[in-house]
């Protein structure tokens, strides 16, 4: 052994240097990680209550089986096992695709693709967008899809409002829908970001709507890559799953591209239904 390596002062110096370098490295990595998360999170604000990502799907990714048709079909009893008493699976072996944040300029393309494969789906619409996209709303209903209330203006903080304000928001949204499609039932409510809490759940239920969560978040709201969207949904697809996709809320060209592969893939393996 050399004298350099046995000199206690040298050893102390080297050990201190290594410790400082390690801490500095950890700080840099932590900053990079939180920075990229903040970038991804935009424009969605995370739900501070549940510490899950907004419009999350981490749970589904972790728990769902690899590959289709390997899971036990969910039972009726499990249908409402989402957060705060929300429904997160269909309750039958059938799978449901849900499209959020429309109607928008992308809704017609979604409808065209669904129609091509004879698939029915559920549209979680934003009240303030209904009037300017009345034609798309009429198509949704005429083509056998179902509707879900997704608030008047995508209010992430709806659960923080007073019960009166929550009622007002949901009723205003349903009224806007019924101005355009008078007889279409709105049986579901979905909180923006999945930020359900006891207030939004109980108001929705009091207004006759089922609070609808999801099983699989396609994460198309953050992904700029249609292949990632496809891979994520295909890997987690299972009987009874409710899949979160978007036909509005931003540039959805990657979702449109993903659907071209995803719809035939799912149709070959699952029974796809609109939420009844
Ligand atoms: Zn949304």
Query: Distance between CA atoms of 269 and 215, rounded to whole angstroms?
Result: 17
* CA 150 to centroid of ligand 1, rounded, Å: 7
Q: Is the distance from CB of 201 to CB of 49 less than 8 angstroms? A: no
List, for residues 243-266, the tens digit of each pLDDT value. Answer: 999 999 999 999 999 999 999 999
Mean pLDDT of the 46-70 span: 38
* CA 27 to centroid of ligand 1, rounded, Å: 34
Give the containing element (helix H, strand E) for 184. none
The domain segmentation of the chain, as residue ranges, is: 3-41, 58-269
Flag whether pLDDT at 237 surpasses 50: yes
Which of the two residues, 18 and 252, has the higher pLDDT score? 252
The residues pairing with 102 across neighbouring beta strands, listed in sequence order, are: 125
Q: Given the structure tokens 């997160």, which residue do they identify?
A: 88
pTM for this entry: 0.74
Active site residues: 100, 246
Query: What secondary structure, in 3-state letters, does 60-116 show?
Result: HHHHCCCCCCCCCCCCHHHHHCCHHHCECECCCCCEEEEEEEECCCCHHHHHHHHHH
Tokens representing 32 are 């990079």
- Closest listed residue to residue 61, CA positions, set 267, 246, 261, 215: 215
What is the b/e burial string over 175-209, where b = at least 16 CB atoms within 10 angstroms of the residue's CB?
ebbeebbeebebbbbbbbbbbbbebbbebbeeeeb
* CA 10 to centroid of ligand 1, rounded, Å: 59
Handedness of CA 156, 252, 108, 247 (dihedral sign): negative
Give the containing element (helix H, strand E) for 231. helix 226-236
List, for residues 86-131, the tens digit of each pLDDT value. Answer: 999 999 999 999 999 999 999 999 999 999 999 999 999 999 999 9
Q: Is the distance from CB of 189 to CB of 165 less than 8 angstroms? A: no
Mean pLDDT of the 222-247 span: 96
* CA 71 to centroid of ligand 1, rounded, Å: 28
The residues pairing with 216 across neighbouring beta strands, listed in sequence order, are: 243
* CA 47 to centroid of ligand 1, rounded, Å: 13
* CA 140 to centroid of ligand 1, rounded, Å: 18
**Does domain 58-269 match CATH 3.20.20.370?**
yes
């Amino acid at each position: 052994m050399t004298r350099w390596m046995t000199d206690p002062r040298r050893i102390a110096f080297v050990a201190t240097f290594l410790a400082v370098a390690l801490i500095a490295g950890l700080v840099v990595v932590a900053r990079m990680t939180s920075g990229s998360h903040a970038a991804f999170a935009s424009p969605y604000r995370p739900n501070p209550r549940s510490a899950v990502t907004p419009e999350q799907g981490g749970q589904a990714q972790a728990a769902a089986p690899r590959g289709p048709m390997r899971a036990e079909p969910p039972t009726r009893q499990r249908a409402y096992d989402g957060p705060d008493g929300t429904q997160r699976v269909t309750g039958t072996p059938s799978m449901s695709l849900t499209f959020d944040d429309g109607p928008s300029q992308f809704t017609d393309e979604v409808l065209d693709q669904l129609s091509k494969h004879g698939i029915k789906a559920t549209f979680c619409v934003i009240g303030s967008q209904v009037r300017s996209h009345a034609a798309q709303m009429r198509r949704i209903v005429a083509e056998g899809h179902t509707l879900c209330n997704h608030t008047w203006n995508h209010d992430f903080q709806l659960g923080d409002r007073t019960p009166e304000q929550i009622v007002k928001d949901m009723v205003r949204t349903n009224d806007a829908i019924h101005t355009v499609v008078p007889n279409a039932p709105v049986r579901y409510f979905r909180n923006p970001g999945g930020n359900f809490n006891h207030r939004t759940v109980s108001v929705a239920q009091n207004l006759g709507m089922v609070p609808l969560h999801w099983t699989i978040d396609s994460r198309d709201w953050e992904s700029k890559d249609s292949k990632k969207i496809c891979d994520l949904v295909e890997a987690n697809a299972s009987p009874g799953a409710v899949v979160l996709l978007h036909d509005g809320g931003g540039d959805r060209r990657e979702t449109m591209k993903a659907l071209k592969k995803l719809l035939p893939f799912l149709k070959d393996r699952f029974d796809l239904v609109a939420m009844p």
